[in-house]
């Protein structure tokens, strides 16, 4: 890991941001997947709230 950190300089001209793959773009825009994520996140929040009360 340290070898990678030594080679990567954040403000160098060769430094680029990550480009999402086709699968990542699909998962970000798929309505069905977003609904599933929404339900899972809400269930997790309900569990946390229930534990606190």
pTM of the shown model: 0.58
CA dist 42 → 36, 37, 47, 49 (Å): 10, 9, 9, 10
pLDDT digits (tens, 9 = 90+) for 15-29: 677 788 999 999 999
CB-based contact 32:26 (threshold 8 Å): no
Q: Please report the pLDDT score of residue 10 as a whole number.
A: 67
Q: Report d(CA 36, CA 40) in Å as an integer.
A: 6
Q: Please report the pLDDT score of residue 22 as a whole number.
A: 92
Q: Please report the pLDDT score of residue 52 as a whole number.
A: 86
Please report, rounded to a whole number, the percentage of residues in the chain having pLDDT higher than 90: 57
- What residue segments make up the domains of the chain, in order of their start? 21-53
Q: Please report the pLDDT score of residue 18 as a whole number.
A: 78
Extract long-range pairs of 8-13: CB within 8 Å, 24+ residues apart.
Answer: none
């Amino acid at each position: 890991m340290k070898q990678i950190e030594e080679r990567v300089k954040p403000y160098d001209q060769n430094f680029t941001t990550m480009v999402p793959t086709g699968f990542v773009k699909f998962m970000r825009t798929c309505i069905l997947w977003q609904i599933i994520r929404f339900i899972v996140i809400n269930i997790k929040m309900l569990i946390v709230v229930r534990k606190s009360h």
